[in-house]
Amino acid sequence: MIREANRVLCLEADPLDAELLENALRPIVPGLRWRHARTRRDFERELLAECPDLVLADYKLPDIDGLAALDRTRELGADTPFVVVSGA
């Protein structure tokens, strides 16, 4: 499945953590198209702009958490695989 998921949307407040995720995926996902959202507002805008093949979301962010982001993804009509990640 991961080889087909080249449009990845990452919801992560910390740019360095987002970069770590991107660097981990880039070697194994051909043609990775990485988009990074730091806030709920950015995340919703990115979801509406282009439906990703995969969403990676931090478990805890300042203005949203991973489970709320999953709910919002579904509310906006995206039937996208969704992975909640955490550094804890």
pLDDT digits (tens, 9 = 90+) for 7-24: 999 999 999 999 999 999
Nearest-angstrom CA–CA distance, 32 and 87: 23
Has residue 1 got a pLDDT over 70? no
Encoded amino acid at 30, one letter: P
Confidence bin at 3 (pLDDT 50/70/90): very low
- Cα→Cα distances 31→6, 28, 53, Å: 6, 9, 12
Instruction: Output the pLDDT for position 58.
Output: 96
Has residue 88 got a pLDDT over 50? yes
pTM score, whole prediction: 0.89
Q: Report helix, strand and coil shares of the chain as percent, to nearest 5.
A: 40, 25, 40
Instruction: Output the pLDDT for position 32.
Output: 94
Q: What is the pLDDT of residues 28-75, one digit of tens each?
A: 988 999 999 999 999 999 999 988 999 999 999 999 999 999 999 999
To 5 degrees, how large is the angle CA 57–CA 27–CA 18?
A: 30
Nearest-angstrom CA–CA distance, 15 and 77: 27
